[in-house]
Amino acid sequence: MEKSKIERVLIVDDEPLIVRLLELFLHELGIEKVIKCPTLTALMAEVAQGGFDLAILDVNLCGRPSFPAAEKLLADGVPFFFVSGYVHEDMPAQLRQVPLIPKPYLADDIARAIDRVTSPESISR
């Protein structure tokens, strides 16, 4: 999947300024439609509903890990990556292969992560 084919992105973070920053980064990449989820409850509802091409997840949402939703995304084959202050060692083993972009990050970091998780090699796994 190419960036040009990504129409809707799920942004998952409980910090409004970070959400806005990610939204601006995505707009720079030509992605205008975003769904914002600040809580695990909202995230689980959006994951169950679907309708997005990519997800960007913070690990910690108001003190609750986003891992249950990440595991569902992984099982469903939805491309996603984490943006967080956490490290892979803090994550469940089955999620350690998912890209993790450490905070703070730049627009180029997000663009590279999108390329990585939407590349044909990544999608065919």
Count how many domains the chain has. Answer: 1
What's the CATH number where 90 sits? 3.40.50.2300
Residue-wise pLDDT tens digits, 51-92? 999 999 999 999 999 999 999 999 999 999 999 988 888 899
Residue-wise pLDDT tens digits, 19-58? 999 999 999 999 999 999 999 999 999 999 999 999 999 9
The pTM is what? Answer: 0.92
Mean pLDDT rounded to a whole number for the chain: 92
Residues 6+ apart with CB under 8 A from 102: 83, 84, 85, 87
Task: Calculate mean pLDDT across residues 89-98.
Answer: 92
Helices 67-76 and 40-49, packing angle to 10 deg: 10
Can you give the pLDDT at residue 114? 97
E strands, 38-109, in order: 54-57, 60-61, 64-65, 80-84, 100-102
Contact 84, 108 (CB under 8 A): no
DSSP three-state, residue 115: helix
Pairing of strands 64-65, 60-61: antiparallel
Domain that holds residue 47: 3-123
Can you give the pLDDT at residue 87? 85
Tell which wins on pLDDT, 79 or 5: 79
Amino acid letter, 87:
V
